[in-house]
Amino acid sequence: MKKILLTGGGTAGHVTPNMALLPGLKSMGFDIHYAGTRNGMERELVSKTGVTYHCISAGKLRRYFDLKNFTDVFKIALGFFQSLILMVKLRPSIVFSKGGFVSCPVVWAAWLAGVPVIIHESDITPGLANKLSMPFAKKICFSFPETETCLPSAKREATGLPVRDELLRGDARRGRELCGFDEGKPVIMVIGGSLGAQAVNEAVRGALDKLLDDFNVCHICGKGGKAPGSRKGYCQFEYVGEELPDIFAMADMVISRAGATALFELLALRRPALLIPLGTAASRGDQILNARSFEKQGYAGVLLQDGLNGTVLAENVRNFYDKRDGYISAMNRAEAGNAAEKVLDVIKRLVG
């Protein structure tokens, strides 16, 4: 049986696209394995799928001075040797990497073992982990049209970003029952990313007095992000698993960070979103580029985090909601195509 080794981790955005490929890989007859960290989010998510999981060491690659850089070098080296052993043990036909720092040792070891590697880049500009892995890859799949200029022409494959099929099968009625919402008001869904977003959480709570007169608000606020107390029309979750499709289905608009996975899920679901990208003070600015691309294509609105508060958010939500039909129309005109099928086709061609 052909074997494929998937890798990627650190945030849900480096894992869920891999999970979107699982049904297709199984139908193609692959024996599927996953390499990730022992305590990372990826292990928790993959454990629910029945895929064989292999733990490796990983260290963060930082662009700035930090004493942890010295110790993390040894973690990365250990991860590389663990990955080499894994290549000898599994003898995979191919490695597919979704990025994140755990993926680098796996990609390097695969190249040394003669195993072909496919990388997927979600954001407009490649992150550091993918930059360090790209020289060792046979093919590089990408999501945004702007990314094409950042990649070598012989390797690049425009595929889009795979989205889990189950997200498309939500039930709005079940979502409203879960949150205790009545039918009379539209629903705003707030998602700050898999790790939450404190600035977004604070602004949403500061806007509730103005929003709850006209909207229900479902707030997915991240681990430890819930506030005490409850209000009619306002429902909080730290994390949502199986119920996520139902919450998406009931949402009339979304307030979201601008990670690539979230954006392409919103596009697939045709959900208009007001994006609040992570700023350059806490990131390399990739979310701002992602958000501006979707804004340019008419798929979403953008509200920068600088100066964000409850009053500003409430005003922007009302203005955005009044124009939401235009965003939905633009998304309906988006080029059709199943990203998962396109990625699977690249895998099929490389495996032969």
Kindly indicate the confidence band of residue 12, based on its pLDDT and cuts at 50, 70 and 90.
Answer: confident
Residue that the structure tokens 């697939």 belong to: 268
- How many Å apart are CA 245 and CA 267, to the nearest integer? 14
Q: Are 87 and 106 in contact, with CB atoms under 8 Å apart?
A: no
Neighbours of 311 (CB within 10 A): 13
Over residues 171-194, the mean pLDDT reads 92
Q: Are 303 and 275 in contact, with CB atoms under 8 Å apart?
A: yes
Which DSSP string corresponds to 224-280?
T-PPSS-BTTEEEES--STTHHHHHHH-SEEEE---HHHHHHHHHHT--EEE-PPPT
Kindly indicate the confidence band of residue 228, based on its pLDDT and cuts at 50, 70 and 90.
Answer: confident
What is the per-residue pLDDT across 24-77, written as a single tens digit (0 to 9) for each?
999 999 999 999 999 988 999 999 999 999 999 987 765 555 666 667 889 999
Question: Which residue ranges form the domains of the chain, and what is each CATH number?
Answer: 3-158 (3.40.50.2000), 166-332 (3.40.50.2000)
Residue 222 above 90 pLDDT?
no
DSSP 39: S
Give residue 117's Cα distance to chain centre: 21
Contact residues for 73 (Cβ-Cβ < 8 A; gap 6+): 59
Task: Please compute Rg for the chain using Cα positions.
Answer: 20
Q: Are 8 and 36 in contact, with CB atoms under 8 Å apart?
A: yes
Q: Which amino acid is at 322?
A: D
Least confident of 61-65, 154-158, 188-192: 61-65
pLDDT at res. 296: 96
